[in-house]
């Protein structure tokens, strides 16, 4: 059996209301004012915890259901992938792997530096 405990939010709301009402109507400029409102909020929280207890739900375990047999996937005919996102990914990766001919076949990400990291300088292939 599964045991689920649902906690009531009312004690937390009560403690927050104590802080709000104290800040609006009573002074909070000394350290002992904060100690008093903290003690009052703890008392309200425990009092409301007694008045609004947690709910305990006992649920029976679900009956185990047999897993359905997976359907066999047909093999894709030819080179066409069945997912358009996979086709776009393959096209983008092939585009990234292509070497620009004006760079002497050097791949680069930004088009401004060569493999050695010469940023901003033109790449000149060695003779």
Round to whole Å and give the CA distance between 67 and 71. 12
Q: How much is the average pLDDT of 40-48? A: 96
Q: Is the dihedral of CA 80, 86, 92, 94 positive or negative?
A: negative
Round to whole Å and give the CA distance between 60 and 3. 9
CA–CA distance from 79 to each of 29, 87, 90 (Å)?
76, 10, 12
pLDDT of amino acid 119:
55
Q: How much is the average pLDDT of 58-62? A: 84
Q: Which of 108, 109, 98, 116 lies closest to 126 in space, CA to CA?
A: 116
Q: For the chain, how many residues are written?
A: 127
Q: Is residue 111's pLDDT more than 80?
A: no
Round to whole Å and give the CA distance between 63 and 60. 9
pLDDT of amino acid 114:
47
Of the ranges 39-53, 82-96, 111-125, the best mean pLDDT one: 39-53
Chain segment 21-36, per-residue pLDDT in tens: 999 999 889 999 999 9
Round to whole Å and give the CA distance between 118 and 103. 13
Chain segment 90-107, per-residue pLDDT in tens: 888 777 777 565 554 444
pLDDT of amino acid 110:
47
Check: pTM over 0.85? Answer yes or no.
no
């Amino acid at each position: 059996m599964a045991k689920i405990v649902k906690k009531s939010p009312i004690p937390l709301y009560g403690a927050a209301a104590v802080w709000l009402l104290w800040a609006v109507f009573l002074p909070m400029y000394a350290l002992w004012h904060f100690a008093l409102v903290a003690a009052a909020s703890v008392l309200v929280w425990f009092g409301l915890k007694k008045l609004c207890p947690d709910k305990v739900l006992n649920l029976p375990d679900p009956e185990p259901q047999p897993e359905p047999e997976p359907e066999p996937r047909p093999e894709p005919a030819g080179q066409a992938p069945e997912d358009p996102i996979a086709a776009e990914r393959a096209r983008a990766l092939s585009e990234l792997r292509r070497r620009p001919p004006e760079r002497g076949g050097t791949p680069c990400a930004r088009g401004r530096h060569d493999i050695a990291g010469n940023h901003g300088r033109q790449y000149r292939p060695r003779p």
